[in-house]
């Protein structure tokens, strides 16, 4: 954006102040009605999420509208399956029963296999909400939905991991029955690459609920599932433990390694046998049962599993998780970031963890932030600049954030991230709103404005979004 355009945008903004979030939601929805159904889908997704903070009935209606648009107008099967799932996910926030009714219209998505079954992501949001609304009366429906998904795709272990503790609080017997039913689905009839990961998550959530025999059966099923699944390509795993870092270059070794702590508690003979069968695991630190370990995972297709490429992929994996890890233990996350050999990767990871590190060492956090601000003057690396923008906003450095936001806007890259962040911390800025309104493509303009208002509503009571 040129200086003249910036001045013009500011003047336009003064003449046209930003509407309130609820007014802007309705205005954008009316404008989206002029788009074709296929173009309307992305805008409706953002609007229906934002509306959870304003009017749940409106959010439900827009979610259904999105579902119908996706069903009727998206020719690509992968995109259609994903958007139908997205629509019902948001609908589950406001009307889980209506989402459950439409769940049975969803078919497995061959285009997503063997990496995911979109219906599983939906169930992760839907099942707990059905339970909250209807309690024990929801269990027959939940069981039916789980069986429906498992019959043609992946059993919804991730959803059961969230549901089991809630059910156990009021109905331990039903919780144990659900645990057993889930274990019987392993190994999966239609295994996906992530089935073993979500199964471990399910074990961790239901372990305290299960009896001794159930635990033993669950570990045996997990081992059978790990040994029967095969991947085309090579997986690498790295576990960042408090006492050391463990690197495993075999997917099967990693799957068994994650099952070992459960085997140790279920049956000592079984755990000894597994360590004999998998000698690489002998002497390694035991993973915790009650918390997921910090883990980076890399998949390398045949021909791309050279050490250099694998190490680069590990760097990207760590960067993806460092912000989550920092919220749990900022000091430990900082040590991992500082160990990165790539200076650009290290800088990006430090920017991502700054807001949480500031809580334990404000001085060091500010030193790093100033160093990163200087680096931002000379780098074009987009992920670093976006990470620093988020940090500046979260730490209250709004003037620096404003300058960096306009720098990113001029590049016209990652605009959706930019609107989402600026909406959360900067809603109401007239020049920003006016500048976004100058975008000629109506789909891009409306999507960005919808993300802008959604960001503004993020901290409002009642707001919900997919996780």
Cα gap 391→449, rounded to integer Å: 22
Confidence band, pLDDT 50/70/90 cuts, at residue 328: very high
**138 Cβ contact partners less than 8 Å away, ≥ 6 residues apart:** 130, 131
Predicted TM-score (pTM) of this structure: 0.91
Contact 37, 73 (CB under 8 A): yes
| Averaged pLDDT for residues 29-57 | 97
Residue 12 has pLDDT above 70, yes or no: no
Instruction: Write down the pLDDT at residue 232.
Output: 55
| Averaged pLDDT for residues 320-343 | 96
Q: What percent of the chain has pLDDT over 70?
A: 96
Judged by DSSP in three states, 171 sits in coil
The b-or-e profile of 122-136 (16+ CB within 10 A means b, else e) is bbbbbbbbbbeeeee
What tokens appear for 28 in the block? 């954008």
Cα gap 460→51, rounded to integer Å: 11
- Could you check whether the bond before residue 187 is cis, i.e. omega within 30 degrees of 0? yes
Mean pLDDT (the chain, rounded)? 92
Beta bridge partners of 238: 247, 296
Instruction: Tell me how many degrees the CA angle 451-126-89 measures, rounded to the nearest 5.
Output: 25
Residue 14 has pLDDT above 80, yes or no: no
Contact 466, 90 (CB under 8 A): yes
Domain ranges of the chain: 1-95+427-467, 319-413
Instruction: Write down the pLDDT at residue 193.
Output: 78
Residue 205 has pLDDT above 60, yes or no: yes
List, for residues 346-393, the tens digit of each pLDDT value: 999 999 999 999 999 999 999 999 999 999 989 989 999 999 999 999
Confidence band, pLDDT 50/70/90 cuts, at residue 303: confident
Residue 188 has pLDDT above 90, yes or no: no
- Could you check whether the bond before residue 17 is cis, i.e. omega within 30 degrees of 0? no
Instruction: Write down the pLDDT at residue 16.
Output: 62
List, for residues 45-95, the tens digit of each pLDDT value: 999 999 999 999 999 999 999 999 999 999 999 999 999 999 999 999 999
For 221, half-sphere exposure in the C-beta direction (CA atoms, 13 angstrom radius) is 23
Instruction: Write down the pLDDT at residue 230.
Output: 62
Radius of gyration of the chain (CA): 24
């Amino acid at each position: 954006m040129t200086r003249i355009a910036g001045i013009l945008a500011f003047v336009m903004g003064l003449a046209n102040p930003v509407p309130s979030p609820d007014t802007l939601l309705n205005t954008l929805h009316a404008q989206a009605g002029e788009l074709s159904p296929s173009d309307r889908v992305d805008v409706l997704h953002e609007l229906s999420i934002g509306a959870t903070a304003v009017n749940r009935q409106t959010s439900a209606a827009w979610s259904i509208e999105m579902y119908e648009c996706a069903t009727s107008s998206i020719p690509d099967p992968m995109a259609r399956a994903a958007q139908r799932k997205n629509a019902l996910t948001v609908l589950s926030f406001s009307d889980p029963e209506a989402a459950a009714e439409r769940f049975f219209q969803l078919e497995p998505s061959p285009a997503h296999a063997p990496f995911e079954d979109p219906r599983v992501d939906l169930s992760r949001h839907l099942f707990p909400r059905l339970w909250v609304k209807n309690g024990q009366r929801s269990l027959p429906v939940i069981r039916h939905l789980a069986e429906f998904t498992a019959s043609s795709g992946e059993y919804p272990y991730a959803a059961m991991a969230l549901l089991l503790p809630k059910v156990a609080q009021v109905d331990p017997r039903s919780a144990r029955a659900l645990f057993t039913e889930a274990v019987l689905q392993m190994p999966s009839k239609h295994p996906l690459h992530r089935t073993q990961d979500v199964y471990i998550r399910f074990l961790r959530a239901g372990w305290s609920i299960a009896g001794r025999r159930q635990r033993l059966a669950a570990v045996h099923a997990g081992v059978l599932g790990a040994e029967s699944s095969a991947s085309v390509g090579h997986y690498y795993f790295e576990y960042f433990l408090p006492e050391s870092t463990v690197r495993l270059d075999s997917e099967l070794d990693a799957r068994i390694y994650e099952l070992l702590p459960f085997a140790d508690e279920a049956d000592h003979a079984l755990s000894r046998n597994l360590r004999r069968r998998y000698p690489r695991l002998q002497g390694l630190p035991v993973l915790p049962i009650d918390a997921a370990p910090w883990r980076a995972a890399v998949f390398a297709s045949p021909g791309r599993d050279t050490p250099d490429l694998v190490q680069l992929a590990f760097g990207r994996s760590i960067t993806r998780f460092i912000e989550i890890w920092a919220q749990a233990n900022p000091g430990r996350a900082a040590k991992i970031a500082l160990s990165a050999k790539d200076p650009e990767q290290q800088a990006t990871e430090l920017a991502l963890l700054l807001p949480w590190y500031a809580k334990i060492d404000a001085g060091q956090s500010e030193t790093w932030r100033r160093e990163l601000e200087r680096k931002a003057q000379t780098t074009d690396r987009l992920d670093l600049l976006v990470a620093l923008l988020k940090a500046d906003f979260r730490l209250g450095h709004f003037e620096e954030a404003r300058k960096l936001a306009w720098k990113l806007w001029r590049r016209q890259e990652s605009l959706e991230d930019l609107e989402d962040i600026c909406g959360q911390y900067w809603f109401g800025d007239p020049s920003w709103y006016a500048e976004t309104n100058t975008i000629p493509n109506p789909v891009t303009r409306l999507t960005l404005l919808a993300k802008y208002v959604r960001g503004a509503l993020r901290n409002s009571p009642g707001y919900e979004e997919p996780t």
